[in-house]
Chains A and B, each alone.
Chain A
């Protein structure tokens, strides 16, 4: 049923945009916990989009890792620091400039990626996004980026241990 898929796409895409907006610029609440919860909803909507693309593994991992672990730690930190509701601050020129610059760079990368994928050339045959296909391409085609990412994560972990054990020197 192509009609249903289209409908679901628009529903999930709209939800992702709406919740993403409410996460960063909620007109009703400046509470950091509310922002974090809207980020969770954004992540869940993105997982819905992955499911529509038949990338089931990616969708499951999106929920498991981002919604289930990373965001729980976000909440943990927000609650431990006991952040009060943020007041509406005046936005300084340099912050605005840096923000605009980073958004422009990320948008450029995204547009390039979308153009490179040739969305108008017609749909490619769907590669079933199961674990076997993903594992095979990770360990053959994308082996170098995969290993570089693993190294990066390892460096991050070593850094955390070094920071938390500072007094043992």
Chain B
């Protein structure tokens, strides 16, 4: 391992960055697969069902105790699902606009993964010159918002490309919904950054490093609430899943899609949930820092513990996402717009004003 430190700094940087990109991408993809399983299992428990408990590669059944337990938990279900999506017929209806029909699923999935680039998912692995973030941007949070705002193109174009009524309505709905809630989301975090005084996400984590009482969720609870609800709308999750609402629009924007193209929309939704959870952990729950505080790790094991801490916090928020989906009924479209424009945006502005007044009072 030491040989790597004799390389040219640029080569080192490129190597480390490549490793971080591959790891972050692979881990996110695995999480996407198991988030789907978690969704199905948790929904089953909430509705007093058993959920997926059959998928089993044939060797597993011969393992004593562990094998049947894993099967009952559905651990192998994501593999079966993935295989099914790959092997199904990829049907393209004759009346669709072909170029956009092919482009839309990719445009949904790619931005979701790109947001992970600026999120500091750990401190260091012992080498202080190699922070565990792929790109340590000074305008980190603006990058995230920019990329997230591009995600809507996938859904709008899917609705347009399908060239039929229900997907079209889904696409139209999503374009208005995403823009409305982006405003509320952006306004809610302004107050957070006024307190911290820096847009760099690593600085945001460092600010909250002192322990649980420094976490922004306690200093800016209103900002967190608005951000959380806006995140449901931005990821098309259930209280606000109007672009796909299956009881009105069949399947919404992805009605005409099948096999792997449909799976890409599905993966995009879960990757968006993971990105939103990671953002919330970074902004409001102290990022990779332990609840009892402590600075950057000095050893490999300390670094791994920080990453584990980050992932644990993220998983809690993912469960909240899933939990909310199965607890609340869907909003009507006018209620959604009313909530965004007439409740959250004024509330976020009031929060900014109050934060500014308090900060001014504290500085004098």
Q: Which A positions have Cβ atoms within 8 angstroms of B?
A: 33, 37, 40, 56-57, 60-61, 63-64, 67-69, 72-73, 75-76, 79-80, 130-131
Contact = CB atoms under 8 A, between A and B. Distances in A.
Contacts of B145: 60, 64, 68
Contact of A33 (B148, B149, B160, B172): B160
Contacts of B19: none
B150 A63 contact: yes
B176 interface: yes
B310 interface: no
Contacts of B199: 131
Nearest to A69: B179
Contacts of A57: 139, 142
Interface in B164-216: 168, 171-172, 175-176, 178-179, 182, 199
Nearest to B159: A79
Contacts of B168: 79
Contact of A63 (B146, B159, B178): B146
B76 to A, nearest CB: 39
Given A33-B160, A64-B145, A68-B150, A131 B139 contact: yes
Give the size range of B's interface with the partner: 20 to 34
Given A64-B145, A80-B172, A72 B178 contact: yes
A37 B149 CA distance: 15
Contacts of A73: 175, 179
22 contacts: A40-B153, A56-B139, A57-B139, A60-B143, A60-B145, A61-B142, A61-B146, A63-B150, A64-B145, A67-B146, A67-B149, A68-B150, A68-B182, A69-B149, A72-B152, A72-B175, A73-B175, A75-B175, A79-B159, A79-B171, A130-B138, A130-B139
Contact of A69 (B139, B160, B182): B182
Contacts of B150: 63, 67-68
Contacts of B139: 56-57, 60, 130-131
Nearest to A47: B146
B156 interface: yes
B106 interface: no
A56 B179 CA distance: 22
